[in-house]
Amino acid sequence: MPWQEDDDHNQKLLKALEALASETGAIERLAGAIDNDERSRALDRARQGDKHKPRQSLIQATTLSRWIKGGLTNAQPHKKRLVYEFLKRSPEFATDIYRPEGRLPRGFLAFAAKHSERLGKPFDKDLSKLDGAFELYRPAWTTPERKDRVVISKLEIKTESGFTRFREEQRYTDEALHGALIDDQDEGAVMFVGAQIVFLGIGINGEGMKLYAATNWFGQLIDPRPVTSFSGLAIGISGRQETPASPFIAVRSRKTFQDIETAAVSITDKRIPADIRKALRGETPSMGSGLLPALAQKFLTG
Protein backbone atom coordinates (compact mmCIF):
# COMPACT_ATOMS: atom_id res chain seq x y z
CA MET A 1 0.00 0.00 0.00
CA PRO A 2 1.40 3.48 -0.88
CA TRP A 3 2.06 6.11 1.77
CA GLN A 4 -0.95 7.47 3.62
CA GLU A 5 -0.85 10.22 6.22
CA ASP A 6 -2.24 8.18 9.11
CA ASP A 7 -1.06 6.78 12.43
CA ASP A 8 -0.41 3.30 11.05
CA HIS A 9 1.99 4.51 8.34
CA ASN A 10 3.68 6.98 10.69
CA GLN A 11 4.31 4.21 13.21
CA LYS A 12 5.68 1.85 10.55
CA LEU A 13 8.04 4.53 9.23
CA LEU A 14 9.27 5.52 12.69
CA LYS A 15 9.83 1.88 13.65
CA ALA A 16 11.82 1.29 10.44
CA LEU A 17 14.00 4.36 11.06
CA GLU A 18 14.62 3.34 14.65
CA ALA A 19 15.73 -0.10 13.48
CA LEU A 20 18.14 1.44 10.95
CA ALA A 21 19.52 3.84 13.54
CA SER A 22 20.86 0.88 15.53
CA GLU A 23 23.42 0.33 12.75
CA THR A 24 26.26 2.86 12.64
CA GLY A 25 26.07 5.05 9.54
CA ALA A 26 22.81 3.55 8.24
CA ILE A 27 20.84 6.81 8.51
CA GLU A 28 23.51 8.73 6.58
CA ARG A 29 23.58 6.03 3.90
CA LEU A 30 19.80 6.12 3.66
CA ALA A 31 19.74 9.90 3.11
CA GLY A 32 22.41 9.61 0.43
CA ALA A 33 20.66 6.71 -1.31
CA ILE A 34 17.37 8.64 -1.49
CA ASP A 35 19.19 11.68 -2.91
CA ASN A 36 20.69 9.52 -5.66
CA ASP A 37 17.50 7.62 -6.45
CA GLU A 38 15.89 8.69 -9.71
CA ARG A 39 12.43 7.42 -8.77
CA SER A 40 12.51 9.48 -5.58
CA ARG A 41 13.56 12.56 -7.54
CA ALA A 42 10.80 11.95 -10.09
CA LEU A 43 8.27 11.73 -7.26
CA ASP A 44 9.56 15.00 -5.81
CA ARG A 45 9.48 16.73 -9.22
CA ALA A 46 5.90 15.62 -9.77
CA ARG A 47 4.90 17.21 -6.48
CA GLN A 48 6.73 20.50 -7.11
CA GLY A 49 5.79 20.96 -10.76
CA ASP A 50 7.84 22.62 -13.49
CA LYS A 51 8.04 26.08 -11.88
CA HIS A 52 10.47 25.00 -9.16
CA LYS A 53 14.12 24.11 -9.48
CA PRO A 54 15.08 20.56 -8.53
CA ARG A 55 16.22 20.21 -4.91
CA GLN A 56 19.90 19.72 -4.30
CA SER A 57 19.01 17.34 -1.48
CA LEU A 58 15.76 15.47 -1.05
CA ILE A 59 16.30 14.54 2.59
CA GLN A 60 19.06 15.25 5.13
CA ALA A 61 20.43 12.71 7.59
CA THR A 62 19.92 15.32 10.31
CA THR A 63 16.22 15.44 9.42
CA LEU A 64 15.90 11.67 9.76
CA SER A 65 17.71 11.77 13.10
CA ARG A 66 15.36 14.50 14.31
CA TRP A 67 12.37 12.37 13.35
CA ILE A 68 13.77 9.42 15.32
CA LYS A 69 14.27 11.52 18.44
CA GLY A 70 11.15 13.67 18.31
CA GLY A 71 8.61 11.65 16.36
CA LEU A 72 6.87 12.36 13.05
CA THR A 73 4.06 14.64 14.21
CA ASN A 74 5.62 17.80 12.77
CA ALA A 75 7.46 16.14 9.85
CA GLN A 76 6.54 17.27 6.34
CA PRO A 77 4.19 14.68 4.76
CA HIS A 78 5.83 14.72 1.32
CA LYS A 79 9.26 13.98 2.87
CA LYS A 80 7.83 11.14 4.91
CA ARG A 81 6.34 9.77 1.71
CA LEU A 82 9.70 9.94 -0.08
CA VAL A 83 11.40 7.98 2.67
CA TYR A 84 8.57 5.45 3.05
CA GLU A 85 8.24 4.73 -0.67
CA PHE A 86 12.02 4.33 -0.99
CA LEU A 87 12.23 1.89 1.93
CA LYS A 88 9.32 -0.09 0.53
CA ARG A 89 11.30 -1.03 -2.59
CA SER A 90 14.88 -0.94 -1.30
CA PRO A 91 16.54 -4.32 -0.56
CA GLU A 92 19.65 -2.49 0.69
CA PHE A 93 17.65 -1.27 3.69
CA ALA A 94 15.63 -4.36 4.58
CA THR A 95 13.18 -2.98 7.13
CA ASP A 96 9.67 -4.27 7.83
CA ILE A 97 8.43 -1.80 5.21
CA TYR A 98 10.34 -3.50 2.40
CA ARG A 99 8.14 -5.21 -0.18
CA PRO A 100 10.09 -6.80 -3.05
CA GLU A 101 8.61 -6.09 -6.46
CA GLY A 102 10.26 -9.08 -8.11
CA ARG A 103 8.96 -9.59 -11.65
CA LEU A 104 5.47 -8.30 -10.99
CA PRO A 105 4.53 -5.48 -13.39
CA ARG A 106 4.35 -2.09 -11.75
CA GLY A 107 0.89 -1.67 -13.22
CA PHE A 108 -0.26 -4.76 -11.35
CA LEU A 109 1.27 -3.50 -8.10
CA ALA A 110 -0.46 -0.15 -8.59
CA PHE A 111 -3.77 -1.92 -9.28
CA ALA A 112 -3.35 -4.09 -6.18
CA ALA A 113 -2.58 -1.05 -4.03
CA LYS A 114 -5.57 0.87 -5.36
CA HIS A 115 -8.00 -2.00 -4.84
CA SER A 116 -6.32 -3.55 -1.78
CA GLU A 117 -9.51 -3.56 0.31
CA ARG A 118 -11.46 -5.55 -2.28
CA LEU A 119 -8.55 -7.85 -3.21
CA GLY A 120 -7.84 -8.52 0.45
CA LYS A 121 -11.38 -9.60 1.31
CA PRO A 122 -10.89 -13.29 0.27
CA PHE A 123 -8.10 -13.45 2.86
CA ASP A 124 -10.16 -12.08 5.77
CA LYS A 125 -11.36 -15.45 7.04
CA ASP A 126 -9.15 -17.51 9.33
CA LEU A 127 -8.38 -20.73 7.43
CA SER A 128 -5.78 -22.09 9.83
CA LYS A 129 -8.01 -25.09 10.70
CA LEU A 130 -6.98 -26.45 7.30
CA ASP A 131 -3.29 -26.51 8.25
CA GLY A 132 -1.64 -29.88 7.84
CA ALA A 133 -1.03 -32.67 5.32
CA PHE A 134 -3.74 -34.17 3.11
CA GLU A 135 -4.00 -36.97 0.56
CA LEU A 136 -5.88 -35.66 -2.47
CA TYR A 137 -7.80 -37.94 -4.86
CA ARG A 138 -9.08 -36.98 -8.31
CA PRO A 139 -9.46 -38.54 -11.77
CA ALA A 140 -6.08 -39.07 -13.46
CA TRP A 141 -5.33 -36.02 -15.59
CA THR A 142 -2.65 -37.90 -17.55
CA THR A 143 -5.29 -40.10 -19.19
CA PRO A 144 -8.39 -37.88 -19.41
CA GLU A 145 -10.16 -40.22 -21.82
CA ARG A 146 -10.25 -42.94 -19.16
CA LYS A 147 -12.57 -42.96 -16.17
CA ASP A 148 -10.97 -45.86 -14.33
CA ARG A 149 -7.80 -44.19 -13.04
CA VAL A 150 -7.15 -41.93 -10.06
CA VAL A 151 -4.26 -39.64 -9.12
CA ILE A 152 -3.23 -39.53 -5.49
CA SER A 153 -1.28 -36.35 -4.75
CA LYS A 154 -0.16 -34.80 -1.48
CA LEU A 155 -1.24 -31.43 -0.22
CA GLU A 156 0.33 -29.31 2.51
CA ILE A 157 -1.46 -26.27 3.94
CA LYS A 158 0.19 -23.64 6.16
CA THR A 159 -0.98 -20.38 7.70
CA GLU A 160 1.57 -17.71 8.54
CA SER A 161 0.89 -14.09 9.53
CA GLY A 162 -2.77 -14.39 8.52
CA PHE A 163 -2.01 -15.79 5.04
CA THR A 164 -2.91 -19.40 4.20
CA ARG A 165 -0.92 -21.05 1.42
CA PHE A 166 -0.66 -24.54 -0.02
CA ARG A 167 1.75 -26.79 -1.83
CA GLU A 168 0.67 -29.78 -3.90
CA GLU A 169 3.10 -32.39 -5.15
CA GLN A 170 2.87 -35.51 -7.26
CA ARG A 171 5.86 -37.55 -8.35
CA TYR A 172 5.44 -41.00 -9.87
CA THR A 173 5.94 -43.09 -12.97
CA ASP A 174 2.74 -43.42 -14.98
CA GLU A 175 2.73 -46.77 -16.75
CA ALA A 176 -0.45 -45.85 -18.63
CA LEU A 177 1.42 -42.91 -20.17
CA HIS A 178 4.28 -44.94 -21.66
CA GLY A 179 6.14 -45.01 -18.35
CA ALA A 180 6.48 -41.22 -18.20
CA LEU A 181 7.90 -39.68 -15.03
CA ILE A 182 5.41 -37.19 -13.62
CA ASP A 183 6.94 -34.51 -11.41
CA ASP A 184 4.31 -31.85 -10.76
CA GLN A 185 4.46 -29.19 -8.06
CA ASP A 186 2.12 -26.25 -7.48
CA GLU A 187 2.10 -23.53 -4.85
CA GLY A 188 -0.41 -20.82 -4.19
CA ALA A 189 -2.98 -19.11 -2.01
CA VAL A 190 -5.99 -20.41 -0.13
CA MET A 191 -8.98 -18.04 -0.04
CA PHE A 192 -12.57 -17.94 1.10
CA VAL A 193 -14.73 -16.76 -1.80
CA GLY A 194 -18.50 -16.94 -2.11
CA ALA A 195 -18.86 -19.44 0.76
CA GLN A 196 -16.30 -21.75 -0.88
CA ILE A 197 -12.67 -22.49 -0.01
CA VAL A 198 -10.62 -21.75 -3.12
CA PHE A 199 -7.07 -22.95 -3.79
CA LEU A 200 -5.31 -21.09 -6.61
CA GLY A 201 -1.81 -22.29 -7.41
CA ILE A 202 0.83 -21.83 -10.09
CA GLY A 203 3.23 -24.55 -11.19
CA ILE A 204 6.76 -24.38 -9.87
CA ASN A 205 7.95 -23.71 -13.43
CA GLY A 206 5.40 -20.92 -13.85
CA GLU A 207 3.70 -22.61 -16.81
CA GLY A 208 0.67 -24.34 -15.30
CA MET A 209 -2.11 -23.45 -12.89
CA LYS A 210 -4.44 -25.35 -10.56
CA LEU A 211 -7.79 -24.24 -9.21
CA TYR A 212 -9.59 -26.18 -6.49
CA ALA A 213 -12.99 -24.99 -5.27
CA ALA A 214 -14.09 -26.82 -2.13
CA THR A 215 -17.85 -26.70 -1.65
CA ASN A 216 -17.97 -29.19 1.23
CA TRP A 217 -15.75 -29.78 4.23
CA PHE A 218 -16.04 -31.61 7.51
CA GLY A 219 -15.25 -29.55 10.59
CA GLN A 220 -16.06 -25.91 11.23
CA LEU A 221 -13.43 -23.31 10.34
CA ILE A 222 -13.98 -21.81 13.80
CA ASP A 223 -14.02 -25.18 15.60
CA PRO A 224 -11.19 -26.10 18.01
CA ARG A 225 -10.62 -29.27 15.99
CA PRO A 226 -9.01 -29.19 12.52
CA VAL A 227 -10.86 -29.72 9.25
CA THR A 228 -10.37 -33.40 8.40
CA SER A 229 -11.62 -33.56 4.81
CA PHE A 230 -12.97 -31.41 2.01
CA SER A 231 -14.21 -31.91 -1.53
CA GLY A 232 -15.31 -30.04 -4.63
CA LEU A 233 -14.23 -29.43 -8.21
CA ALA A 234 -10.75 -29.04 -9.68
CA ILE A 235 -9.45 -27.45 -12.89
CA GLY A 236 -5.89 -27.85 -14.15
CA ILE A 237 -4.60 -25.43 -16.79
CA SER A 238 -1.67 -26.49 -18.96
CA GLY A 239 -1.12 -26.13 -22.68
CA ARG A 240 -3.96 -25.28 -25.06
CA GLN A 241 -6.17 -28.31 -24.49
CA GLU A 242 -9.61 -28.00 -22.95
CA THR A 243 -9.58 -28.49 -19.20
CA PRO A 244 -13.00 -29.59 -17.91
CA ALA A 245 -13.61 -29.59 -14.17
CA SER A 246 -13.30 -32.87 -12.30
CA PRO A 247 -14.26 -33.89 -8.74
CA PHE A 248 -11.67 -34.12 -5.99
CA ILE A 249 -11.59 -35.27 -2.38
CA ALA A 250 -8.88 -34.36 0.13
CA VAL A 251 -8.50 -36.30 3.37
CA ARG A 252 -6.24 -35.35 6.28
CA SER A 253 -3.39 -37.82 6.47
CA ARG A 254 -1.90 -39.54 9.47
CA LYS A 255 1.43 -39.45 7.63
CA THR A 256 3.72 -36.45 7.40
CA PHE A 257 3.68 -34.53 4.13
CA GLN A 258 7.08 -35.99 3.20
CA ASP A 259 5.92 -39.58 3.79
CA ILE A 260 2.76 -39.47 1.67
CA GLU A 261 3.20 -41.58 -1.47
CA THR A 262 1.80 -40.18 -4.70
CA ALA A 263 0.68 -42.31 -7.64
CA ALA A 264 -1.67 -42.79 -10.56
CA VAL A 265 -3.56 -46.03 -10.00
CA SER A 266 -6.63 -47.96 -11.03
CA ILE A 267 -9.80 -46.76 -9.33
CA THR A 268 -10.09 -50.30 -7.91
CA ASP A 269 -6.66 -50.09 -6.29
CA LYS A 270 -6.63 -50.87 -2.56
CA ARG A 271 -5.18 -47.40 -1.87
CA ILE A 272 -8.52 -45.88 -2.95
CA PRO A 273 -11.07 -46.17 -0.11
CA ALA A 274 -14.40 -47.59 -1.25
CA ASP A 275 -16.39 -44.49 -0.33
CA ILE A 276 -13.99 -42.23 -2.24
CA ARG A 277 -14.18 -44.60 -5.21
CA LYS A 278 -17.96 -44.30 -5.24
CA ALA A 279 -17.84 -40.53 -4.98
CA LEU A 280 -15.38 -40.15 -7.85
CA ARG A 281 -17.55 -42.46 -9.96
CA GLY A 282 -20.59 -40.32 -9.18
CA GLU A 283 -22.32 -43.12 -7.33
CA THR A 284 -23.06 -41.00 -4.24
CA PRO A 285 -25.64 -38.20 -4.37
CA SER A 286 -23.24 -35.63 -2.92
CA MET A 287 -19.64 -35.67 -1.81
CA GLY A 288 -20.75 -33.66 1.20
CA SER A 289 -23.67 -35.76 2.46
CA GLY A 290 -22.41 -38.53 4.66
CA LEU A 291 -19.08 -39.10 2.90
CA LEU A 292 -16.97 -36.44 4.58
CA PRO A 293 -18.22 -37.24 8.11
CA ALA A 294 -17.44 -40.90 7.43
CA LEU A 295 -13.91 -40.05 6.27
CA ALA A 296 -13.45 -37.86 9.32
CA GLN A 297 -14.51 -40.67 11.62
CA LYS A 298 -11.89 -42.93 10.04
CA PHE A 299 -9.23 -40.29 10.65
CA LEU A 300 -10.26 -39.74 14.25
CA THR A 301 -10.57 -43.43 15.17
CA GLY A 302 -7.91 -44.92 12.92
- Give the domain 128-301 fold: Lipocalin (2.40.128)
pLDDT value of position 301: 45
Proportion of the chain above pLDDT 70, given as a percent: 89
The better pLDDT of the pair 243, 58 is held by 58
* Residue pLDDT, tens place only, 6-64: 888 999 999 999 999 999 999 999 999 999 888 888 888 877 665 556 667 899 999 99
What residues contact 190, with CB distance under 8 A and at least 6 apart?
127, 130, 157, 164, 165, 166, 197, 198, 199
pLDDT value of position 296: 46
Average pLDDT, integer, range 82-88:
91
Query: What is the rounded average pLDDT for all residues in the chain?
Result: 85
Task: Using pLDDT thresholds of 50, 70 and 90, give the confidence band for residue 285.
Answer: low
Task: Using pLDDT thresholds of 50, 70 and 90, give the confidence band for residue 141.
Answer: confident
Domain ranges for the chain: 7-97, 128-301
Q: Tabulate helix, strand, coil % of the chain (nearest 5).
A: 35, 30, 40
